[in-house]
Amino acid sequence: MSQITTPSAVRRQERATLARELLVATADELYNSRGFQFVVMDDLREATGLSLRAMYDLYPSKTELVLAVLDRRHQMWTEGLTAQLQHEPDAQRRLLVIYDYLAAWFEEGTFRGCGFINAFAELGAAEPAIADRVRNHKHSFQQEVARLVNEAHANPDLAPQLAILAEGAQTTAAIAGSSAPAAHARKAALVLIRAALPAS
């Protein structure tokens, strides 16, 4: 027998969805500005206006909430980079778009480093699920770089080299409080790309 969805049930579901989006977005903002370990549920209650019970109904543990935040970050990163890549038709120049994307991100006032690296540093040793989510995100990025390298007909060894440059730029920019590491990484990437391309 099929279950009938009443208008009141639909409204409850919509309210739950809005509350979940609010909680995850707020947690993302606070984790980014204060650190994962220093934000407690009372901070989120105060910032969102949601009750503790409502928040625990949505995410029974902090680990589950952190995973939801990381999923949100992964989606934002993937969609943002994909949008940037679509504006560059040349396969070889698309390899440099990665660093242009990083430069724009580093210049944002809210940039505090890579949320995945921060989560791994703060929580990864004690929370295997968080460590796995971070590894999956980084692996996804490495696969995307490998795809771009393949489309440019460059030496496959170039992919991990470009990925490491991007990761290093993120960490250096967070520590230095400057977007300059993106430009430095871009220049280094250009040297590697030219060396990895087939001779014309």
Compute the average pLDDT of residues 124-149: 97
CA distance 77 to 22: 19
User: Phi and psi at residue 61, in whole multiples of 5°?
Assistant: -145, 160
Answer yes or no: is pLDDT of 84 > 90: yes
What percentage of residues in the chain have a pLDDT greater than 70?
Answer: 96
Average pLDDT, rounded, for the chain: 94
Residue 176 pLDDT > 70? yes
Query: Binning pLDDT at 50, 70 and 90, where does residue 3 land?
Result: low
Is the pLDDT at 200 greater than 70? The verdict is no
Give the residue ranges of DSSP H helices in the chain: 7-34, 41-48, 52-58, 62-86, 91-106, 115-119, 128-151, 158-176, 180-196
- Given this model, what pLDDT does residue 11 score? 78
Q: How confident is the model at residue 100 (pLDDT cuts 50, 70, 90)?
A: very high
Residue 188, pLDDT > 90, answer yes
All domains of the chain in start order, with CATH: 1-60 (1.10.10.60), 64-196 (1.10.357.10)
